[in-house]
Amino acid sequence: MSGMNFQKKFNTTPPDKGSFPLDHDGECKTEMLYFMQCLSKNNNNNSECRPEAREYLDCRMKHGLMQKEEWNKLGFKEKE
């Protein structure tokens, strides 16, 4: 049976809560860089970088890199 090519088909699902998979395709690289630059400018004081953190997490949720979650459960107000 040479020449036969068997391939498994994988269905992707959002990761389990608590997991934080790598962004291999760089879908949220820009948002991550803005957040990291903000942290660097503010001596790693993440409270100064809340808008950047929110944008980064929003991007990850939109691209299925983390489970969608309500903002208040992530420490943000709905309209922050």
Distance between terminal CA atoms of the chain?
Answer: 61
- Three-state SS at 43: coil
Q: Which pLDDT score, from 0 to 100, does residue 28 have?
A: 96
Q: Which pLDDT score, from 0 to 100, does residue 72 have?
A: 93
Closest CA to 65 of 11, 15, 10: 15
Convert the pLDDT of each residue in 26-66 to its tens digit.
999 999 999 999 999 999 999 999 999 999 999 999 998 88
Q: Are 54 and 80 in contact (CB under 8 A)?
A: yes
- The pTM of this model reads 0.72
Convert the pLDDT of each residue in 22-32 to its tens digit.
888 999 999 99
Convert the pLDDT of each residue in 4-25 to its tens digit.
666 666 676 665 665 677 888 9
